[in-house]
Structure 1
């Protein structure tokens, strides 16, 4: 019995040794396979990366391949991302990140419906824009003026007295645009509501006062004459019997248009300069689209009355003495009503209109100085002697 027990123990020891030997052989065989075959082959053989990564040599080889793939992929993604970024320098400032097809650099004053198809909103698009700066006391006068403008005009009213509902009695008021701000002039409105990109659809822009008699005026005929004579900046002639100041703006009964005149001795050192040429007044100016774009930039300052602007309009068209003129065949009456002047404030014993008039004169001086100083600075930067600006203007 003792001998049998010893033999059994020996048999178990032999089995254990064989098992250990098999495990060792398997380990060596696996190591050999891992070293001999690339990771791609192991993948095809369905040997998981987790097993291979347990071996230092195999793990290093796998990491190199993986890193190369990751780098290539990152470069491709980055390049693709860069290519997909939108940056269009020719777009308006601030819109460079938008595709050009969605950018609209211009707008309009066309009124839209709240229903239906957008493409059917506008049976027609007005070609011209007329603005009046108004108070309710002059609504009868404005009613008569508006009726001189056809449906081819967009009507825009700037209300300096903040009263807008009082205009509802007029049928045309329903299609007009009303903008209200208390005690502001038309140039204050023009700076803020007549941006060139908004009024771009209009061939001509009328920026008129409220105290104009229009019995002898027809807007359609006026446009025909402006186009015929190539005027970029114009105004209707003024009735010479009703308080005109400048010879240039007085109506002449023997012609359609005039662009030059004669003034008092010493007033016009150059016949091509204001007030003998290249000159209209600011009560009833009419601008072409291109001329208004230039004028709009000229008025971007803190001045509100516009006095002196009429002497500087010539800077926006070339040659100014040919493209700025007065239309005699369509004429108006300047009624000289002190309506906006009465919106001033009595101070230091002066009536409200006197304070307004004093500021008008001060602004005229300020504006002229600004223009002169800006021009001198420009010519100086170019190394040009600006001591005789008249000759420079004449040459241009």
Structure 2
């Protein structure tokens, strides 16, 4: 009996030890299995060729989909790393990566998806309410700009009335007076830009970038001192299209404000593209001022021509003198694509209003200093064109052509 009691007590002591050993062994096995499992890529159950009798009622696809999120991300990261190590040019981007490289994106827009990019704009006025798609009852196809001072308000009022609602009207105010123009009804729908003592070419370089005026088929860049009694803008553009003009101007009334024979209005003619000048003025009948030439006072550009001309306008040369002799570089063939519209003509009144915006120096009147700078800019522009062409031809290793800008 004493021995039996000892055996029972001895068995009771060993039982808890065996239970604890079993618990510890099970726990270690679970931990080891977990660590082993995450150390290997996920094996797709659906790719395993298991006998259907072994798993008769288990939806393997469901199990894989339900528990594969962690392993899918791991595979994605591994694949991205592998692609990078192989030197592939294809870049894979995570959804939270802000840089999206697209070679066709404009410079500076590499971080934007192409579908959101708006590379062009316009001067269409928008409302502050309602839907954007309902803002515009009409989208003007043409643009006309005038560089103005308030003293010429009546002349500009008469000129604006020659342009239909198919034109966006922009006034560049060199005298800083804008609110006074509200007496005219059309002024409420015009665009007013006011910077004192600047020229239209200064404005053009800063406010008429080709991507800003891209919606307009033609751009009129006019001075403020033009008489328009015999002019109709819509009829003018019909003739421009008919004769294939990319750069043009209305003919000038011959008895006032005329400098060049090319711009002189001809009777019984719709358009002319060539003329005869004084002896020795034209080295070639197809070159300015005998052809491929209009003045800069009332120029009209097609959208494509303006895109080229804008880049040719120098940022610091604000009067534009000499530009009219170089316009031919922007169209081809220039002697056929540049011309004067005779049947829609204007009068150059020759009002020296901008000259009075100058400053008197060394006893000279304000307009004298302005005129002196105009001449200097003409020489500077000629030199820049010639230097740029020479440098290009030298870099290309070819002889320059005989003709250069005057």
TM-score of Structure 1 vs Structure 2, range by shorter chain: 0.7 to 0.9
What SS is found at the alignment partner of 1:131? strand
- In the TM superposition, what whole-angstrom CA distance separates every residue of 1:12-66 from its partner, at most 9, and x where no partner exists? x7566434422443455557x65xxxxxxxxxxxxxxxx32xx7xx655532321
1:192 to 206, 223, 230: 206
**Under a length normalisation based on structure 2, what TM-score does the superposition of the two structures give?**
0.83
1:291-302, aligned counterparts within 5 Å? Answer: 291-302=305-316
Q: Residue 43 of structure 1 aligns with which residue?
A: none
Is the aligned partner of 1:62 residue 2:76?
no
Aligned to 2:11: 18
Task: Render the CA deviation track for 1:144-197: whole Å, top value 9, x for unaligned.
Answer: 111111111111000000100111111111111101000010011111111111
**C-alpha spacing 1:370/1:20, structure 2 compared with 1 (3 Å):** farther
Alpha-carbon distance in structure 2 between the residues aligned to 1:201 and 1:79: 46
Instruction: For 2:307 and 2:78, locate their aligned partners in 1 and report how far apart those are by CA, in whole Å.
Output: 43
- Tell me whether 237-246 or 83-92 shows the greater mean CA deviation: 83-92
Task: Name the residue aligned to 1:358.
Answer: 372
Which structure has the bigger radius of gyration? 1
Q: Spell out, residue by residue over 1:126-150, the C-alpha distance to the aligned partner (whole angstroms, 9 max, x if none).
A: 1111000000000011011111111
| TM-aligned CA deviation for residue 67 of structure 1 | 3.1
Q: Is 1:95 equivalent to 2:88 in the alignment? A: no
Matches within 5 A, 1:1-396: 11=5, 17-26=10-19, 29=22, 34=26, 51-52=27-28, 59=31, 62-69=34-41, 73-76=73-76, 82=93, 84=95, 86-386=100-400, 388-390=401-403
Any gaps of 5 or more consecutive residues in structure 1?
Answer: 35-50
For 2:15 and 2:142, how far apart are their aligned partners in 1?
100
Relative distance call for 1:200 and 1:67 in structure 2 (3 A) is same
**Structure 2 vs 1, CA of residues 90 and 349 (structure 1 numbering), >3 Å: closer, same or farther?**
same
What TM-score does the superposition give when structure 1 sets the normalisation length? 0.85
Moved over 4 A (4+): 13-16, 27-31, 58-61, 69-72, 77-81
* C-alpha separation in 1, matches of 2:102 and 2:142: 32
Change (3 A) 1:130 1:76: same
How many Å separate the matches in 1 of 2:321 and 2:266? 25
The alpha-carbon distance between structure 1 residues 77 and 320, as it changes in their structure 2 partners (threshold 3 A), is: same
CA deviation after TM superposition for structure 1 residue 112, in Å: 1.5
**Pairwise CA distance, 1:301:** 2.1
Q: Would the alpha carbon gap of residues 78 and 90 (structure 1) be closer, same or farther in structure 2, given more than 3 Å must change?
A: farther
Q: 1:344 to 1:15 in 2, by over 3 A?
A: farther
Please give the alpha-carbon distance, in whole angstroms, between the structure 1 residues aligned to 2:259 and 2:386: 24
- Cα distance in 1 for residues equivalent to 2:332 and 2:12: 107
Contact 2:257–2:347 (Cα < 8 Å) also in 1: no
| Structure 2 SS opposite 1:129 | strand
State the superposition RMSD in angstroms.
Answer: 2.4
Alignment partner of 1:98: what SS? Answer: coil
In the other structure, the counterpart of 2:51 is: none
Rounded to whole Å, the distance in 2 between the matches of 1:270 and 1:16 is 129
Q: CA deviation at 1:263?
A: 1.3
Preserved contact between residue 249 and residue 339 of structure 2 (Cα < 8 Å): yes
SS at match of 1:263: coil
CA contact 2:202–2:315 (8 Å) conserved in 1: no
Q: Is the 8 A contact 2:146 2:221 kept in 1?
A: yes
Deviations 1:224-259 (A, max 9, x none): 100000000000111111131111111111311111
